[in-house]
């Protein structure tokens, strides 16, 4: 089984001070379950303006508690980036700049950007390429709308998104790609798909990637996540099968107690 992963996407929900207080609360709670939490890779994706603040928190880990035993499984991620390394692109941020701030992961192609900002599959493709060139890890989001699902086009939509994003993008032996299946129609609804459907969809994704990368790379360098409606009461069912390597968390990542419960559940499952 691959090492499990939990990605916290804060979206545009918190101010700077709110984010700092949330991080302190989460770190304090993680310290209490340190041995369990260390079994999970935990990635925090705050808004751009909070990256430096959260980075400092993560670098210090439990130094706030005068602890010397820092957790090394806490990482910083960004919610998006531009597809060029530098240039006259007002308001944008490049993977290289994110790397300077301490980021190791970048969410690419989230449905809210596709829907609200007109982000296309071509843009996603170029972002993945630039992120890999910058030696960061892309977290590629794919998912269908309710209408696409009702029309029986779900598998086609997922396969097309994966194909357009990854085809032609080189993955080296020391690099990683994370793909998160997040059905658009469940985001913010409190609903989730069944464990069986999440597993089946990730199998579809995995099968498509065979056309792009060698099997050893797919086995060792690509992790498949599920996202949408996840909380501490339902997370357990999604990580019982090896095909699902972790979780992308939205609203529940904004509540320290709830988020840490999710991590604890996954950490305990990984030892079984």
Distance CA 43, CA 53 (A): 15
Q: Which of 20, 110, 126, 167 is catalytic?
A: 110
- Kind of pairing between the strands at 222-227 and 74-78: unpaired
Cβ atoms of 198 and 244 closer than 8 Å: yes
20 classed as catalytic: no
The DSSP line for 188-200 is: TTT----HHHHHH
182 classed as catalytic: yes
Cβ atoms of 224 and 202 closer than 8 Å: yes
CA 89 to chain centroid? 25
Q: Helix count (H) and strand count (E) of the chain?
A: 12, 8
Nearest to 146 by CA among 108, 111, 116: 111
Q: Check residue 223 and report its DSSP letter.
A: E
Q: Which of 167, 182, 197, 258 is catalytic?
A: 182
Name the residues annotated as catalytic: 110, 182
């Amino acid at each position: 089984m691959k090492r499990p992963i939990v990605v916290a996407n804060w979206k545009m929900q918190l101010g700077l001070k709110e984010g700092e207080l949330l991080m302190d609360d989460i770190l304090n709670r993680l310290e209490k379950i340190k041995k369990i939490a260390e079994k999970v890779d935990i990635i925090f994706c705050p808004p751009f303006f909070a990256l430096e603040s959260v980075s400092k928190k993560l670098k210090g880990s439990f130094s706030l508690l005068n602890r010397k035993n820092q957790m090394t499984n806490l990482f910083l991620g960004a919610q998006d980036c531009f597809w060029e390394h530098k240039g006259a692109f007002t308001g944008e941020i490049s993977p290289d700049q994110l790397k300077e701030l301490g980021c190791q992961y970048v969410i690419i192609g989230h449905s809210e950007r596709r829907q609200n900002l007109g982000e296309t599959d071509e843009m996603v493709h170029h972002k993945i390429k630039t992120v890999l060139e910058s030696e960061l890890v892309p977290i590629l989001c794919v998912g269908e709308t309710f209408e696409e699902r009702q029309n029986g086009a779900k598998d086609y939509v997922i396969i097309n998104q994966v194909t357009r994003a990854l085809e032609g993008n080189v993955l080296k032996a020391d690099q990683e790609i994370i793909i998160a299946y997040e059905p658009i129609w469940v985001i913010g609804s409190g609903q989730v798909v069944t464990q069986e459907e999440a597993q089946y969809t990730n199998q579809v994704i995995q099968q498509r990637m065979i056309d792009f990368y060698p099997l050893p790379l797919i086995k060792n360098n690509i992790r498949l996540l599920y996202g949408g409606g996840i909380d501490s009461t339902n997370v357990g069912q999604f990580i019982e099968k090896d095909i699902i390597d972790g979780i992308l968390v939205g609203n529940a990542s904004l509540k320290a107690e709830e988020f840490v419960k999710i991590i604890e559940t996954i950490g305990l499952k990984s030892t079984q």
